[in-house]
Amino acid sequence: MNIADKFVELIVKADNDYEELDNIYLNNRIRGMIGDNIDETSESTDILEIRDRLIQTAINNEKIANDQTSKEILSDQLMDLYTPTPSRLNHRFWNLYQESSEQATNYFYKLSCENDYIKTKAIAKNISYPVKTEYGKLEITINLSKPEKDPKAIAAVKNQSQSSYPQCQLCMQNEGYLGRPGYPARSNHRIVRFELGGETWGLQYSPYAYFTEHAIFLAGEHRPMVINQHTFENLLEIIKQFPQYFVGSNADLPIVGGSMLTHDHYQGGRHIFPMMLAPIDREFDIGIPNVDAGIVKWPMSTIRLTSNDPDKLVMAANKIHQAWMNYSDESVDIRAYTDEIRHHTVTPIAHKVGDNYVLDIVLRDNQTSEKYPDGIFHPHQDVQHIKKENIGLIEVMGRAILPARLKTELNEVEKYLLGQSNDMASYHKKWADSLKLKYKFNFDNISDIVKKEVGLVFARVLEDAGVFKWNDEGRNAFDCFVKVVKEE
């Protein structure tokens, strides 16, 4: 059986959209993409392996160029044949939802892996390990899954006319979009529609997931991110609809926000983050019945609200948010405004524990200064050799997303620490020299020690981003803010 016939067999067997009567139609669709000269045969049942061989056949037949962008576009076109249409997928999802929300998301997630929208093989390359700190076990990941920029695609972008369609990579317009140089292929992309706050929203998964079932909840309308009372209502409503997931929002300001501030969206999924396990350091009465409140023992300044009444939680969260938006304490460098420029926002995160809803409100401040031009509450210069990017939602919760450069750079650091010939980057030298004073290194312990110390640097990164520090001055300042919250 040639590889086109085999691909058709696997599509039909999946029972997503097609039956055996569609065999000839599907075969011709595939030949239109890869050419008619198909000599290779296969009895493999791995659809992604067959897909890759079809792509190579297309290159051999000169149907596509041998470059990253062309291969990605064809790959997603082929896998689109395996993927149900948006309407059929939504019907299946909501039919399964009648049994349980978990059955529905299990189906959608499994399909998103099988059709290679979620790049499971690439994600498997990521390095991940826990590190014990005074705040509990933090999760360290070095992100190796995202492909390098295609030089040919970069050059092509310069020569092509600019397009405003789709408006951004989170818009619903991406569903089924072919792709182009500099913009990802999305032929096999699907979005589940649902109602949220009287609007149409979408549920999709992240192609390069940072944790299990990394979901994105996106507004149907293209509009900037904003944190307000409606945000807290939306997060808790999502948890009602999908109680197996957590959900949170990046902050809505530069420096402390995420990378996609132009489209209103949240992130969620099936993962228990270190912050969720962090204990309450001290409780306080927020003045709303049936709501427990407390300051969390966490490097990022966090107030945890717990209740079985979501409406009361929204009231409490809004009370904190309103107080924080206008709160200043110059003794600890906290300023709500400078020259009418707003600096304060929050990162809210919701999940369920039994019958209770838990809403963590993380206080954020995006000021810069002459001493800290990248941000007063941003990773400071001495830790930027490990992490200099913004601290977004996922990292707020204790999972470091570190740059791919560290895989090779840390190997060179290890060689330096062992006294071997090395090409260690100069910006790691001060840190490495401090480790030399702290440990006696050998081949058996070097890797574990460096991993541990990277984790401790990440803990410092989070401390830098915390507006109230874990010292006497910071504790007292946090308590002063709590008093203001009570008076709201």
Instruction: Give the mean pLDDT per block of 10 residues along the chain (488 residues).
Output: 96 94 97 95 93 97 96 98 97 98 98 97 96 97 77 51 85 97 96 96 96 97 96 98 97 88 96 98 97 98 98 98 97 95 98 97 97 97 96 97 96 98 98 98 97 98 98 98 92
CA 457 remoteness from chain centre: 21
Structure token pair of residue 468: 């109230």
Nearest to 324 by CA among 265, 380, 253: 253
What is the pLDDT at residue 154? 43
Asked if 185 and 75 count as a contact pair (C-beta separation under 8 A), the reply is yes
Is 197 a domain residue? no
List beta partners, residue 133: 136
Q: How far apart are CA 17 and CA 76, in angstroms?
A: 16
User: By three-state DSSP, how is residue 325 classified?
Assistant: helix
List beta partners, residue 192: 203
Asked if 401 and 394 count as a contact pair (C-beta separation under 8 A), the reply is yes
Asked if 300 and 466 count as a contact pair (C-beta separation under 8 A), the reply is yes
User: By three-state DSSP, how is residue 195 classified?
Assistant: strand
List beta partners, residue 269: 246
Structure token pair of residue 249: 């929002």
In 10 A of CB 176, how many CB atoms? 16
What is the pLDDT at residue 482? 98
The b/e string for 458-480 (b: 16+ C-beta within 10 A; e otherwise) is bbbbbbbbbbbbbeeebeebbee
Residue with tokens 């197996």: 244
List beta partners, residue 302: 362
Structure token pair of residue 417: 């620490």
Strands 136-142 and 399-402: parallel
Query: Using omega within 30 degrees of 0 as the cis cutoff, is the peptide bond preceding 166 cis?
Result: yes
Q: How far apart are CA 209 and CA 268, in angstroms?
A: 11
What is the pLDDT at residue 353? 96
Sequence-separated contacts (24+) of 164-167 with Cβ below 8 Å: 167/222, 167/263
What is the pLDDT at residue 163? 75
Number of domains present in the structure of the chain: 1
Is 42 a domain residue? yes
Asked if 453 and 430 count as a contact pair (C-beta separation under 8 A), the reply is no
What is the pLDDT at residue 161? 61
What is the pLDDT at residue 321? 98
Task: Please give the single-letter amino acid code of residue 236.
Answer: L
Strands 199-205 and 136-142: unpaired
Query: What is the dihedral angle through the alpha carbons of 75, 78, 82, 84, rounded to the nearest 10 degrees?
Result: 90
Residues 6+ apart with CB under 8 A from 74: 33, 34, 54, 55, 58, 64
Is 58 a domain residue? yes
Is 6 a domain residue? yes
Range of the domain at 46: 1-64
What is the pLDDT at residue 157? 46
One-character DSSP codes across 382-398:
GGTTT--S---HHHHTT
Assign residue 333 a region (left: φ > 0; alpha: ψ between -120 and 50; beta: otherwise): left
Task: Please give the single-letter amino acid code of residue 215.
Answer: A
Is 164 a domain residue? no
In 10 A of CB 281, how many CB atoms? 15
Structure token pair of residue 6: 């085999």
Is 174 a domain residue? no
Residues 6+ apart with CB under 8 A from 215: 105, 203, 204, 205, 206, 245, 247, 267, 268, 269
Structure token pair of residue 409: 């750079």
Query: What is the dihedral angle through the alpha carbons of 313, 314, 317, 318, rounded to the nearest 10 degrees?
Result: -150
Structure token pair of residue 432: 């490495």
Is 28 a domain residue? yes
Indicate the pTM of the whole model. 0.94
Nearest to 278 by CA among 255, 262, 297, 304: 297
Task: Please give the single-letter amino acid code of residue 258.
Answer: G
Query: What is the dihedral angle through the alpha carbons of 443, 446, 451, 452, rounded to the nearest 10 degrees?
Result: 130
Is 449 a domain residue? no
Asked if 3 and 42 count as a contact pair (C-beta separation under 8 A), the reply is yes
Quick one: which H or E segment has residue 281?
Answer: strand 280-284
